[in-house]
Amino acid sequence: MTSITNSPYTSIAIAVLVVAFVCFRQLQTRSIREERGLLLYVLVFALGVLQTITFLQSHAIGAIVLALVLVSLIVGLGLGALRGRLVHLWRADGQLLRRGNAWTVALWIVGLAIHLGIDFVSGPLDKSAEGFASSTLLLYIGLALGAQRLVLLRRAKTIVEHPNEAPTEY
């Protein structure tokens, strides 16, 4: 019997809350600390790796489900990079500012639905792999946020070089 702390539904609930919080924050105008780098995202990714390893130690995962999760992680990287391009980015009073929009929220929802949807299709494919996608959610979130951050930081360098360029609205 699965305890509540090891339940895939607990992982899903936590992930939904985290993504809701991230989406809420992305819709607000916020400053970006360019010097911070990627430490937070690397930490989330590392926790995701630990959670994934823990799951794999007690479950045998078939090649199809493993491939589906890997594809989802690659999609998460791509969607993170796309969100980084779609975030409104500008400088005001010497600060780098950013604000997401409906597209960035929609991409979070689509990415999360794809990733979690793997658990729904993996049950019939491989009963022992049920819950694998939800156990990799922190891995997914760390990769997606890291990709978004890298694109934003790259765009910020362009804004520094061209301070008179008007920010692009999406």
170 within a domain of the structure (yes/no): no
1 within a domain of the structure (yes/no): no
3 within a domain of the structure (yes/no): no
166 within a domain of the structure (yes/no): no
Q: Count of domains in the chain?
A: 1
59 within a domain of the structure (yes/no): yes
**pLDDT tens digits along 113-165:** 898 888 788 877 787 788 888 889 889 999 999 999 999 999 988 885 555 55
**pLDDT tens digits along 56-76:** 999 888 888 899 999 999 999
Coil, strand or helix at 97: strand
pLDDT of residue 167: 53
Other beta carbons within 10 Å of 108: 24
79 within a domain of the structure (yes/no): yes
Confidence of residue 2 (pLDDT cuts 50, 70, 90): very low
2 within a domain of the structure (yes/no): no
**pLDDT tens digits along 10-60:** 766 776 787 788 788 889 999 888 777 778 888 989 999 999 999 999 988
pLDDT of residue 163: 52
> Where are the alpha helices (H) located in the chain, listed in sequence order?
8-26, 39-58, 63-86, 102-125, 132-135, 137-161
18 within a domain of the structure (yes/no): yes
pTM above threshold 0.75: yes
Single-letter code of the amino acid located at 102: A
Q: Domain limits at 69?
A: 8-161
